[in-house]
Structure formats: structure tokens, C-alpha cells
Structure 1
Amino acid sequence: MARPRRSFFAYASALLGLLSLMGVACFHFPDLLTSREFRAVYNEQFARHLLLVGLAAAFIMGTLAILRDRNKRIATIGVGSATLAVLLGGSNVQFDAIGQTPYSLGLDWFVLSLFFSALVFVPLERYLGKHVLSPLRPGWRTDVGYFFMSHVLVQFILILVTASTSTIAGLAAFPALKTLIQSMPVWLQFLIAVFVADMAQALLHRAYHNTPWLWRFHAVHHSSRHMDWLAGSRIHFVEIVMTRSCVLLPLLVLGFSTPAINAYVILVGLQAVLAHANLGIRFGWLEYLLVLPRYHHWHHARQQEYVDVNYAIHLPLVDMLMGTFKLPRDQREWPQEYGVMKLETVPKGLLNQHLMPFRARRTFDEYVD
């Protein structure tokens, strides 16, 4: 018996309904659920208008799915979540002045990032994808969980990264070098910062692949059997902290200006999603200048000859200097399979994957497939 097709309207309604409910929660508890740094990026009116659009779309698409008798349970989640969001105040919810708290969650960062990322990449991958792949492909729930964790816990990640780098950066101060770098125009600082950070991350990345205990953490990232915009979110929490600390440390030691570092952070966010995206566009010579989807997809290929290549995140030049550059000349050639070489070494599920590096077991009965 053929499996019934999933309804786009039903799942879109569920996504928008749940995100709208989270958005209302952010209005009710802004000091606890929203990130102070990210609040500076948007204003209240923008958030209210976006919330209104999300609520209306959740109701309309959920109702259409129910009337068409398609994935009614999923559609009901969307309509029910949107209804609860309206009952809790909807886009007209009022909130008091935002107070100061020692810690807060980045729920607003999660809601807006997931909404706009899906809005951009779901259509792009639908029409420009190299592989025919549903947004609801196997493992998508796990990757949404990773996306949620990395965004909601953003402040705690920053605290850990800052704590691990600030002392070392202070001890390794080079005033003359910092003065020289900060005398450069911001665009030049940015370019140098990209190269320095990419070299640092590529060296650590190669260590992840060649050091058994580090590989146990990094194997989680490589365990995704499908590559799309969401797959890049699958990263162990320990690896997030280690990698960001390793990348930030040389930037702080060398004294790059805040605007240059902020520009680099924006590039990291964009390129991390793009490099994993399922986009079959032929970029020509740009593939040798920037890390683009096909380049990074070969790093994730489940093929023995590609297990120790393409470590760069931004610049293929870094791999060329390290002797780890490898890319088929034929731009029509893409990997046919992704994932770790030994599938049974990585269990299913976010919690099990986070516990995996600390367990004595080396194989699992329920593993990624």
C-alpha cells in the first residue's frame, strides 16, 4: 500500500502555529526568553507584524489541509497552536519594560532564524536542488532539535566561549600587532580575519577527523544521511564551544576591530547554511575561490577517498595550502551517499548523540540510517 503524500499546508501550518506560540511567549517573558544582543536587530512593530502574518497563515493553511482531509492531525496542531497564541494575546499582547536578568534564552533568535531560513531555502532547494529531497526527509526532527538547541542556548554558548578565550587572549597580547591591524581599513581586516579564522578552524577540523576522542564528537555532525540547509545544525554542544573558542581566540589575540569580527560572524552564519544546502547550481570558477555546496558536500561524502579532505569552511585556498583540497573537475559529479563510514557508531536522536562520546559503547542497535 502506497504511503499517503504529506501535505505541505499541514506541516507549514504546524510550523507557523508553533513559532507563533513561541513568539507570543517571547512577548510575555522578554527578559527571560529573548536575547539582549539579538533584540537590537529588530523592533517591536516588525515582530508584531510578522506574528500577525504567521498566525493568519497558520489558520488558513491548517484549515485548507483539514478540509482536504490531508494530514489532519498535523494541521490541527497548527490551528490549535495558533488559537492558543491568539487566546494568550496574539499580535496585540502587551508587555512590561524589559528588565535585567543574568541569563536569558534566545527563543526569539530561534523563531526568526527558523522562519526566514525555511522561507528562503525550502523553495530554493525545491527548484534548484541537486537531489530530490523533501523538507521532511528522515532525520529532520533531530536536526530541528539541534537548530533549537544552538539558537536558544546562544547566550550560554557565548559565555562559555568568552570564558575559554578571554584569559588566554589577555596573556598573549601583542600591542604593536594589534595597532597595525586596527590601522587597516575594516574591509581588509575582514578579509584577513576570514583567512586566519578559516585556517584555525581547518586545523581543528582535521584534528577532529584524525583524533579518535575528538572524532566521537564530530561524528555527530557527519551522521546526517541527507544534506540540506538544516543538516549543518547537527553539531554536538561540546564541538560548538570548542570550535567557536578556537576560531575566536586568534581573532582576539591579533586585535581585529569589532566591526570586522561582526562581519565575519555574519559570514559564518550565511556560509554554514549555504555550504550544506541542497543546491545543484554550477558556480564555475567560484568553487575554487569560496566554499560552496558541492565543495562541502564532498567532505560529507560516504566515500573512503574523501574522508580526509576539504576541511576549509570559507576558502578552498586553505585546503590547497594544507594539501587537503579535492574536488572532481566535472561539476556534474556529486556524492551519491552521505554519512559516517560506520553507521552503527552513531545512535539516533539528539540526546543519545550527545551522550555517545561519553559512553564506552562503540556501536549501537538503533543507529542513523
Structure 2
Amino acid sequence: MVADMAAPRSWTAHIAALLGLSSLLGVLCFHFPALLTSREFRQVYTEGFARGLLLVGLVAAFALGTLAILRGRDRRVALVGVGAATLAVLGGGARVGFTDIGDSPWSLGLDWFVVSLFFSALVFVPIERLLGRIPQSPLRPEWRTDLAYFFVGHVGIQFILIAVTAWTAGVASLAAFPPLQAAIQSLPLWVQFLLAVFCADLAQALLHRGYHRWGPLWRFHAVHHSSRHLDWLAGSRMHLVEILLTRAMVLLPLVLLGFAPAAINAYVILVGLQAVVAHANLGLRFGWLEYVLVLPRYHHWHHARRADYVDANYAIHLPLVDMLMGTFRLPRDGSWPEEYGVMEAGSVPTGIWRQHLAPFLPRRGSAAAQAQEPGDQQQQR
């Protein structure tokens, strides 16, 4: 058993399992499109694209799974992939039929999860292997936890949007200022987009600083900072309460100011892309661009396990926002943090369920651990 634990994990087996399970989920999406697929995301892709992606996933799952089994590496994991792909074929495979999509008061974003995971992994796994600052495997510690967060965040996207949209629309109806909205809507769309990015990032940065300064909010945000290994998947680790609060408070000024839907949608796309890039394990130097856009080294310093960086780099898009807030910090020597995570290691439990429950439970640990929680005067110095 010791030898098995010490043996390196097989990428081939794990990719086969990922593709096999994703293919099975894809077939289920065809069988129950009204319940399992997002209405908004269905407008982005075609049926032919979905079937082609499903076919690629099935073929690759069988091929890679069989190869891993023959090599004797992580056979159980490989069998999961082959077995899931077999069930997907029995369920109709790439030729699975489906009826017209009816109306449903709610639906899961299972299609959004499958497509996003496939292309994110396809792009960032090889990039991080070639250009990574730290030579770490995608199967690094706690990758399953972050994959679970990725799943929950994508599958539950419609519920999140419904809650956030309802709240912001209600507040906007009470506090709207038509002359200002008309002035903003008269601007070219690209100008609206740039202004939306700045306004949203300022709102996000102020709230973000609140997470770090006020103990009750920090307990939710600490989940995000508990990751000791940063990569493209680590940014998905966010407590559901933080997701709802952040999206609501960031979207509110955009709705109040009356930005065009196209500008807001473009900003939402930027958020998704930059959140992945900012956490990615990329060791590239971008020179002067690091002072214009939030890139990996800038945000990695925000995650640094160092007392002198607990109140720095809150922006997610524009370092200018931190400069205005007086929280901009970036070493000029090009250095990177040596460690990531919360100051008191072990103060946040492991696993998605325990991490979601932890903020609601009485604080545990030593007095020293509690004294290091943001919001206390000792930590803020």
C-alpha cells in the first residue's frame, strides 16, 4: 500500500475518467435539456457543436482509459472513465436524440460545466506545464475540492443569476437616476465597457477589502484564501455566500448607472477569463503591463502567506483601483510569493462541505489563531 501511495498518479487515467464522466453528463443533457442545461448558454452553441464535442470525449475516454489499464497505472480510475463512457454510449452516445426543449422555471447549468471544464483544462493544463512558475501537477493536493467548487459554481449558475438579478433589479427600481443613465447610454459601447470595468472593479475592491477587514465576512472569504496551491482551478474555490454577495454588489452599480446590456455582458465575460488567468500558475513576466492589468504575479501576491500583504492588491482587473485606494503593492524585483494560504495554517477545514459549514460554526483553535483573523488590530498593522 505504501508503494501504491508513493507511485505517481497517471494523467492518462484521470483524463479518461474526466472525459468519460463528462460524456455521460453530456448525454444526460440531451435527454433532459430543459432541466439540465442553461437557457442562456444554449444560445451560445449549436447542436452540431455539442454532438461533435461529445463524440471527441467518448473516443478519447475509451482510448486513454484502455491505454492506462494496459499500462497498469491507476486502473480503477481508468475503469471509471471507460465505464462512464460505456454508459454514455448505451444512453445514445453522440447520436442521442432529444425532443423540443420546453419551458422550465429553473434549470441546472450542466452543459456550462462540461464545456467550460473541457476548454479550460484544454488550454490551461498544457500552458501551466510549459510556462508554470512552480512545476506542479494538475493533480496537486486538494484538486478534487477545487473541482467540486468548479462544478457547483457552474451547475448552479442560473440560481445565482436569478437571485442576483432579482435583488439588483429591485434596488435599481428604487434608486434609479434617469438623466445619468441616459448620459451613460449615449456613450459608445466600447467606452461604456471601459467605464463598467472600472466601476465594477472599484465596487469589488471595496467589498474585497471589507472581506479582509471585518471578521464575520472574512470567515467566508477565508475559504478562497485557504488554497495552498494556485493554478487555473484554484480561483473556483469560493463560498456560496461570497459568490452571491460579490456578484450582487458588483452588478448593482452597473445596473444603477444604466450601462447597456452588451457592455455588462462583455464585462461578465472578462470576469470569467481574468479570474482564471489571475490565479493561474504562470511564471511569465509582463513588464509594464503588470501595472495596467491584474495578471498572475499581481494577484498571487494578494494570496501570499505574509503578514505584510494581508491588506494589498484587492483589484481583480485594474491595478489603478488599488493605487487609488492606497493598497497597491508589487515587488519591483519580479519576485513571487514563497507560500500561499491563510496566515494560520489549518484554521480553515478541508473539503467543500466542511468549508461551507465552517463560517456558521463557533470559532475553534488557539487564541493566537483567532488573533490573526483579519479585522483584528494586530493583523492590520
Q: TM-score, normalised by structure 1?
A: 0.97
Identity of aligned residues (%): 71
Task: Check if 1:53 corresponds to 2:56.
Answer: yes
The Cα offsets for residues 192-218 of structure 1, whole Å up to 9 and x where unpaired, read as 000000000000000000000000000
- For residues 49 and 165 of structure 2, the distance between their equivalents in structure 1, rounded to whole angstroms, comes to 31
Match of 2:370 in 1: none
Q: Deviations over 1:273-323 (max 9, x none)?
A: 000000001100000000000000000000111111000000000000000
Q: Which residue of 2 aligns with 1:351?
A: 353
- Alignment match, 1:143: 146
CA distance in 1, matches of 2:51, 2:346: 46
Match of 1:341 among 330, 343, 356: 343
Q: Given the alignment of the two structures, is residue 276 of structure 1 paired with residue 274 of structure 2, yes or no?
A: no
The one-character-per-residue Cα deviations of 1:142-170 (angstroms, maximum 9, x if unpaired) are 00110000100001101111122111111
Q: CA deviation at 1:363?
A: 3.5
Where do 1:143-222 residues align within 5 Å?
143-222=146-225
User: What is the DSSP-based 3-state SS (H/G/I as helix, E as strand, rest coil) of the residue aligned with 2:179?
Assistant: helix
- How many pairs were matched up? 363
1:367 paired residue number = none
Give 1:23 shift. 0.2
Matches within 5 A, 1:92-103: 92-103=95-106
What displacement does 1:183 show?
0.5
Provide the rounded CA distance (Å) in 1 between the counterparts of 2:37 and 2:333.
Answer: 46
Asked if the contact 1:344–1:363 (Cα under 8 Å) also holds between the matched residues in 2, the reply is: no
Q: Name the structure 1 match of 2:379.
A: none
TM-score by length of 2: 0.94
The equivalent residue for 1:307 is 310
Residue of 41, 44, 51 corresponding to 2:44: 41
Question: Which residues of 2 match residues 282-301 of structure 1 at below 5 A?
Answer: 282-301=285-304
CA RMSD of aligned residues (A): 0.9
Deviant stretches of 4+, over 3 Å: none
Gaps of 5+ in 2: 367-381
d(CA) in 2 for partners of 1:100 and 1:363? 50
Aligned counterpart in structure 2 of residue 320 of structure 1, from 297, 306, 323: 323
Where 2:346 maps in the other structure, the secondary structure is helix
For structure 1, the 5+ residue unaligned runs are: 365-369
Q: Which amino acid aligns with 2:235?
A: G
Paired residue type of 1:42: Y
User: Paired residue for 1:22?
Assistant: 25
Pairwise CA distance, 1:241? 0.4
**Quick one: distance in 2 between partners of 1:310 and 1:221?**
15
Q: CA deviation at 1:4?
A: 1.1
SS in 2 for 1:201: helix
What is the CA distance between 1:8 and its match in structure 2? 1.4
User: In the alignment, what sits opposite 1:13?
Assistant: 16
